[in-house]
Amino acid sequence: MALEPFEVLYEADNPTAYKLPADLHHLYGALGFATRVVYSNFVASVDGVVTLGSKPSAGTIISGKYPADRFLMGLLRACADAVVIGAGTLRATPGHLWTPGHVYPDLATEFIALRSALGRTREPQLIVVTASGEIDASHPAIVKGALVLTTAEGARAIGSRLPKSCEVVAIGTGKHLDPGKAIAHLRDRRLNVLLTEGGPHLIGQLIEGGLLDEAFLTISPVIAGRKDDDKRLGMVEGVELLPNHGAWSGLSSVRRHGDYLFLRYRTPAPAGRA
């Protein structure tokens, strides 16, 4: 059955709206980004859960594979020069490809048309961030090709294990790479419109560093629950923001589709509102 359009409940002025192909505009309405931007996309349960402990593909379970959410994932990927993920998300999502057409194949042609009109490559570049270098060389997204950002130690641990479709770049030394330097490296490669699909540890560092400009959040109409011994994370993990450094955000748009809510926020640096 064809997807019904999203209902726009609120939309702030968007001076950066792209000229979307008609089918995409019909479904979503206006969408566009600044020429240099980092934006995220997550799906959360009503009670704020985005991961399900050790269960793989948590986002798919939490969204209930809702077609409108998958469409928006595809559309947001279609707008991006690159999709940036942490190695935890790669490991937790076997079999996935971070391309627009993989998540919403029905409109794969329209996504490619949008990318072409925006002057983007046919598919966004996948970027994987790792410190340990524990990357499964047989994961289909790695086989397809990714830029792996790590430290000198991580690059040594990876060695020559990854397929030739991948490039491994060491940025600095130590236990973690500096997220600001990672983003600067991507800019040097003319990857300016960056989507991150997390996970919570990576996005926490981006927010803490004032590097995240916008956040898309789908609220799925499900209550996931938590048990003490089963760690289920919210959208941000590993950094403390409130009470002293809360990343107060501006609401850019609210859409509804069925029982799902689709929110878009502007996310200034925490220090900006502290």
Give the binding site for ligand NAP (CB under 6 A): 42-43, 50-51, 58-59, 62, 85-89, 92-93, 129-132, 134, 176-177, 179, 197-202, 205, 237
The CB-of-200 to ligand NAP minimum distance in angstroms stands at 4
Torsion sign, CA atoms 120, 19, 96, 236: positive
The CB-of-174 to ligand NAP minimum distance in angstroms stands at 9
Task: For ligand NAP, give the closer residue by CB, 198 or 270.
Answer: 198
Task: For ligand NAP, give the closer residue by CB, 49 or 78.
Answer: 49
The CB-of-64 to ligand NAP minimum distance in angstroms stands at 12
**Residues facing residue 215 across a β-bridge:** 40, 265
Task: For ligand NAP, give the closer residue by CB, 7 or 230.
Answer: 230
CA nearest 233: which of 40, 48, 46? 48
Task: For ligand NAP, give the closer residue by CB, 112 or 131.
Answer: 131
The CB-of-26 to ligand NAP minimum distance in angstroms stands at 25
The CB-of-133 to ligand NAP minimum distance in angstroms stands at 7
85 phi, psi to nearest 5 deg? -135, 155
| Whole-Å CA distances, 98 to 7, 26, 74, 112, 145 | 26, 24, 9, 14, 11
Task: For ligand NAP, give the closer residue by CB, 96 or 120.
Answer: 96
Buried b (16+ CB within 10 A) or exposed e, 48-82: ebbbbeeeeebbbbbbeebbbbbbbbbbbbbbbbb
